[in-house]
Amino acid sequence: MGDRLTIERDGDIATISLDNPDKMNALTLSMWRELGKAMEALSADDEIRCVILRGAGTRAFAAGADISEFAAQRSNREQARSYADVTTAAMQAIEQCRHPVIAMIHGVCVGGGLEIASLCDIRICGESSRFGAPVGQLGLTMSYAELGALIRLAGRPVAMEIVLEGRIFNAHDAYAKGLVSRVVADDAVEEESIATARRIARSAPLVARWHKHAAARLTQSPALTAAEIESAFDCFDTEDFRIGAEAFNAKQKPVFKGK
């Protein structure tokens, strides 16, 4: 029951902390739901000039989705669709937030954590941060929206290293590959992120909102058919998805069958 979001305000800067201390801030469905609502509320608030997204503590930004919930909440196509309704709404709320959003990244930033970070405008991490998305070992796919955000962030070849090979990048490589905007010393992540938020908050806010909106307009993904969007759920009907989930829970290496 330690999973929650905390929201703090310091003048025109709001900070949302992903807080699930026993699980490296992995996101439960309840946290995804709260995250969407919090971002929508902050986006509508004209007093806000910058939002910081962070993990509670300094061990992790977020270690992804809380996989222990999958058996009960994401075990087949129908459940996965309901689950995605919540996560997609949260991710859209981050992306469409009218105010600039900074990802303050301590430590681990993988899976859903990387997806959240990829939707922020600026990413600041520490030297010991790690980035990746082990979806191929879980037997599940990203959605088009998630993969699209990763490609927009760092390009298709980097996205392919992450999703095909399951590669985990250190901070230095993540910077070289465009996954993060800036790498600082681990104990400077908070200070640098707040200083960046203040620089943004001192800029003309209507100008910032217009630039953010225009940049999204200029880089929007091609329109997809309903069938294409639905195809991202095909994995949940496969034997490999069950193999991946069971191996994860048993802390074993999965042996996939390709069906």
Touching a copy of itself, residues 183-242 (CB under 8 A): 196, 199-200, 202-208, 210-212, 214-215, 217-222, 224, 228, 231-232, 234-235, 238, 240-241
Check if the beta carbon of residue 67 is closer than 8 Å to that of residue 248. Answer: yes
**10 counts as binding a copy of itself under rule CB under 8 A:** no
Q: Which is nearer to a copy of itself, 187 or 230 (CB)?
A: 230
**155 counts as binding a copy of itself under rule CB under 8 A:** yes
Position among 79, 88, 96, 181 found at the interface with a copy of itself (CB under 8 A): 181
Which residues sit opposite 146 in a β-bridge?
none
**129 counts as binding a copy of itself under rule CB under 8 A:** no
DSSP string, 45-80: -TT--EEEEEESSSSEEE-SB-GGGHHHHSSSHHHH
Which residues sit opposite 4 in a β-bridge?
19
Only segment of 28-36, 68-76, 106-114, 136-144 that touches a copy of itself (CB under 8 A): 136-144
**148 counts as binding a copy of itself under rule CB under 8 A:** yes
Check if the beta carbon of residue 130 is closer than 8 Å to that of residue 108. Answer: yes
**248 counts as binding a copy of itself under rule CB under 8 A:** no
Smallest separation (angstroms) from a copy of itself to the CB of 240: 4
Rounded Cα distance, 186 and 208, in Å: 28
Rounded Cα distance, 219 and 65, in Å: 27
**100 counts as binding a copy of itself under rule CB under 8 A:** yes
Residues 6 or more apart from 124 whose CB is under 8 A from it?
A: 102, 103, 104, 105, 180, 181, 182, 184, 189, 192, 193, 196
Only segment of 75-83, 104-112, 138-146, 186-194 that touches a copy of itself (CB under 8 A): 138-146
Smallest separation (angstroms) from a copy of itself to the CB of 219: 5
Residues 6 or more apart from 19 whose CB is under 8 A from it?
A: 2, 3, 4, 5, 6, 25, 31, 55, 56
Only segment of 32-40, 56-64, 84-92, 154-162 that touches a copy of itself (CB under 8 A): 154-162
Smallest separation (angstroms) from a copy of itself to the CB of 229: 10
**130 counts as binding a copy of itself under rule CB under 8 A:** no
